[in-house]
Amino acid sequence: MTDRGSTVARPGAHGAGASSSVQRLALLFSRMWAWLFLALMVLFFVVAVPLSTGGSVDFLTIRNSQNILVAIVPVLLLGLGQTFVLIAAGIDLSVGWVMSLASVLSALALRDSFNSGAPLPIAVLAGLAAALAGAGAIGLVNGSIIAKLKVPAFIVTLGTSFIVRGVAYLMSENSTVIGLPAGVRAYGNDALMYYITGPGGGLYFLNRPEVGGELLRRMEMIFPYPVLAAAFVVALTMFLLHKTQFGRHTYAIGGSMDAAVRSGIPVDRHLIKVYILSSATAGVAGFLSTLRYTAGSAVIGDSLLMSSIAAVIIGGVSMFGGSGTVIGTVIGALIIAVLTTGLVMLNVDAFWQFIVVGAVVIIAVLIDQSRDLIMGKQRKGAAL
DSSP structure string for 138-194: HHHHHHHHHHHS---HHHHHHHHHHHHHHHHHHHHTTS-B----TTHHHHHH-EEEE
Nearest 5°: the CA angle 155, 285, 182 is 140
What value does the mean pLDDT take over residues 280-290? 97
Percent of the chain with pLDDT over 70: 89
What value does the mean pLDDT take over residues 270-286? 97
pLDDT for 101 equals: 97
85-108 pLDDT tens trace: 999 999 999 999 999 999 999 999
Identify the residue with better confidence: 134 or 17: 134
pLDDT for 215 equals: 78
pLDDT at 375 over 70: no
What value does the mean pLDDT take over residues 249-268? 94
Distance CA 341, CA 346 (A): 9
CA distances for 250 relative to 3, 232, 233, 305, angstroms:
53, 21, 18, 22
Choose among 160, 166, 172, 147: nearest CA to 95: 160
Identify the residue with better confidence: 240 or 372: 240
Identify the residue with better confidence: 18 or 181: 181
pLDDT at 302 over 60: yes
In the structure, what pLDDT confidence band is assigned to residue 34 with cuts at 50, 70 and 90? confident
pLDDT for 2 equals: 44
pLDDT for 15 equals: 53
pLDDT at 248 over 60: yes
Using an 8 Å Cβ cutoff, are 289 and 71 in contact? no
Identify the residue with better confidence: 217 or 8: 217
pLDDT at 378 over 60: no
pLDDT for 74 equals: 95
Choose among 196, 232, 193, 189: nearest CA to 212: 196
Using an 8 Å Cβ cutoff, are 278 and 84 in contact? yes
CB atoms within 10 A of CB 148: 12
39-91 pLDDT tens trace: 999 999 999 999 888 877 888 888 899 989 999 999 999 999 999 999 999 99
Distance CA 244, CA 271 (A): 16
pLDDT for 281 equals: 97
pLDDT at 6 over 50: no
pLDDT at 14 over 60: no
Identify the residue with better confidence: 207 or 46: 46
pLDDT at 4 over 50: no
Average pLDDT in the chain: 87
Identify the residue with better confidence: 4 or 141: 141
What value does the mean pLDDT take over residues 178-194? 91
pLDDT at 13 over 90: no
pLDDT at 192 over 60: yes
Q: Domain spans of the chain?
A: 44-49+70-181+240-383
Distance CA 45, CA 339 (A): 9
321-365 pLDDT tens trace: 888 999 999 999 999 999 989 998 988 887 888 888 888 888 887
Q: Which of 114-123, 179-188, 229-238, 373-382 has the lowest mean pLDDT?
A: 373-382
Using an 8 Å Cβ cutoff, are 311 and 13 in contact? no
